[in-house]
Structures are given as C-alpha cells and as structure tokens.
Amino acid sequence: MGIDLPLIWFLIIIFSIMMYIVMDGFDLGIGILYPAVKGQADRDLMMNSVAPVWDGNETWLVLGGAGLFGAFPLAYAVILDALAIPLTIMLLGLIFRGVAFEFRFKAAPKHQHFWDKAFIGGSMLATFMQGLVVGAVIEGFPVEGRVYVGHDFDWLAPFPLFCGFGLVVAYALLGCGWLVMKTEGHLQQRMYRVLRPLALLMLAIIIIISIWTPLAHPTIAERWFSLPNLFFFMPVPLLILWASWQLSNANFNSSHYTPFLTALLLIFMGFSGLGISIWPNIIPPFISYEEAASPPQSLGFMLVGALFIIPIILTYTFWSYYVFRGKINHEQGYH
C-alpha cells in the first residue's frame, strides 16, 4: 500500500492554515481591540506583548501558500483567479500593519496617532479579508475543466461578508484572551469585561453560520445530519458550547490562562466544522484534493523539504514563546 501523498500535503496545508490562525490571530486581534483602549501606555503594553513573536507568526501563511502552489496548482490557480482582489487587499493590510507596528515606536509622540490608526486599519482589513476568503471557499467556485469561469466580484456576497465579520470577532476574542494571559492590573480587568460579550457574539456567529451553510448547501446538510455522521460529529458543537460557557464565565473565575486556551479551542472547533463541511473538496463543490494534486514525483520531492523545514519552524516558534513567556508590565519593552 503506497503513501497517499495528496492527503499528506492536504493535511500539511490545513495544519499551516490552522497554525497561522492561532499564531497571527491573536496579534491581529490586538489591533482590532486597540479602539477599546485609549491610554497610550496601555497601547504600548498591548503591542509589546506580541513584539517578540508577531513577525514569525506569518511564516505559517507563507508555508501554506507555497504548499498550495506546489502541491495543488489547480486549486492555487482557481482560488487566486477567483479571489485576487480580496487576497491583494489582505496582503496590503498585513503590510500596512507591519509598517505601522515598527514605525509607531519610532514616531514622534504627535505622529503616533496616525500609526495607531494604521495598525487598527491594517489589522481589521487583513482579518476581514481572510474571513471573506474562507466564506468564498465554502460557497464554492464555478469551474469548467481546469478554468475558473465566475466573475471577479462573486466573492462580494452575503455569506463571505458575514464570515469576514465573524473572523474579526474571532481574532478579537483571541487577542482578548492573550492580553488576559500576558497582562495584569487595570488592562487585564478591562479585557475581562470585554471577554464575555465577545464570547457570546462569537457563539451567535457560529450558530448563524452553522444554520446558514446546511440551508444553502444540501450536501453539507446531508453530511452533518445523516446517520451515523450525526453521532460522530456531535463533539464539535458540544465543545463549542462548553468553550463559550467557559469564556463567558472567565471573569468570575479570574483565570489567567483559561480564556486564551479556551478561545483557541473555540476557534479550532469552528475551523474543524468548516473543514468537515467541505471535505474532501479543495475547490468546492466538486473538485477533491486528489483531483487537484500535482504528480506524485513533485509531491514526494516537496515532502522531503517540508519534513526538514517544518520541525525547524516548530522549534523556533516554541523557543521564542518559551523565552518571552510570563507577564509583561509597563516597565518592560522590546523596542
């Protein structure tokens, strides 16, 4: 029995996307939460909490994009053709956020407000476009042969736009949990107060998407609600409800680590639910990952490099988070 190289690469790309959502999600979330915090010192503290690790987080986005290009060129071509505009806007948002991140610490005090706004705008724009892309992928693409035959603005539809809003809330929730874990005092208490409404809003968004997708796509409804699938997939909504309950009560428990870890679980379960809905298609609704895969020789050659580079990235990521573990206060800074 041979190795299923397309499946291995599909899992590598899914893992890379999930790692990106986890790693870059909370620092994008900090930019989204900036308007809720007015004090300049508190904003410095928020930014310093991610300063040592934020730029390495986007490694996973590069790995996922490069893996999609090499392992599934058909999917890469269709997705890039269909979503060129939102993907370009997303990259511009990430670039603007990165520039604002560095320039804010070097700007004169009277100019810092401009870079604050750039940081907020870049974070929100990049996040919204990422969610929009996810929603557009779930909606599916019209493909004839190996060519995308839809319109340039098919992504500008209610469901992708709602998914964009949903990811903004999700990243804000991750950022809130991160700040509860990394800060103390009045900033931490402010984040505790924000955590409950964000958790309830996130739960409402997940419920709406969970109703919307099966109503719009009968194949998704059949996958979730037919037997025995219903019993196999039941842990996903149950864990989402449990995580939402934990987050909404985190303020009363005064736990420093539970909010972030539970927010991660909530995001992971939501991501898993979307994955279950479209499996095994990499170009919904009809093209599977096997049909879109590169030749086995190409997949095998790339896999050798991936098995070498992924442990290095994981080691670096673990070490950087380990070195900069613990709380941060106003007297500390990394710039």
pLDDT tens readout for residues 302-323: 888 888 888 988 888 888 888 8
pLDDT for res 194: 86
Of 229 and 35, which is predicted with more confidence? 35
Q: Between vectors from CA 238 to CA 234 and to CA 243, what angle results, nearest 5°?
A: 150
If you compute the radius of gyration of the chain from its CA atoms, what whole number of angstroms results? 20
Written as six digits, the tokens of 77 are 């071509």
Decide if 143 contacts 282 (C-beta within 8 A).
no
Written as six digits, the tokens of 61 are 């986005």
pLDDT at 263 over 70: yes
% of the chain at pLDDT higher than 70: 95
pLDDT for res 190: 85
Residue-averaged pLDDT of the chain: 83
Q: What is the mean pLDDT of residues 231-260?
A: 78
Banded pLDDT at 253 (limits 50, 70, 90): low
pLDDT per position as a tens digit, 52-85: 777 777 788 888 888 888 888 888 888 888 898 9
Q: Between vectors from CA 57 to CA 55 and to CA 60, what angle results, nearest 5°?
A: 125
Buried b (16+ CB within 10 A) or exposed e, 60-88: bbebbbbbbebbbebbbbbbeebbeebbe
Give phi and psi for 282, each to the nearest 5.
-100, -20
Alpha-carbon gap, residue 212 to 206, rounded angstroms: 10
**Residue 287 bridge partners (DSSP):** 283
Banded pLDDT at 335 (limits 50, 70, 90): very low
For 20: left if phi > 0, alpha if psi spans -120 to 50, otherwise beta; the answer is alpha
pLDDT per position as a tens digit, 165-193: 999 999 999 998 888 888 888 888 888 88
Q: What is the mean pLDDT of residues 145-152?
A: 81
Instruction: Give pTM, 2 decimals.
Output: 0.89
pLDDT for res 169: 93
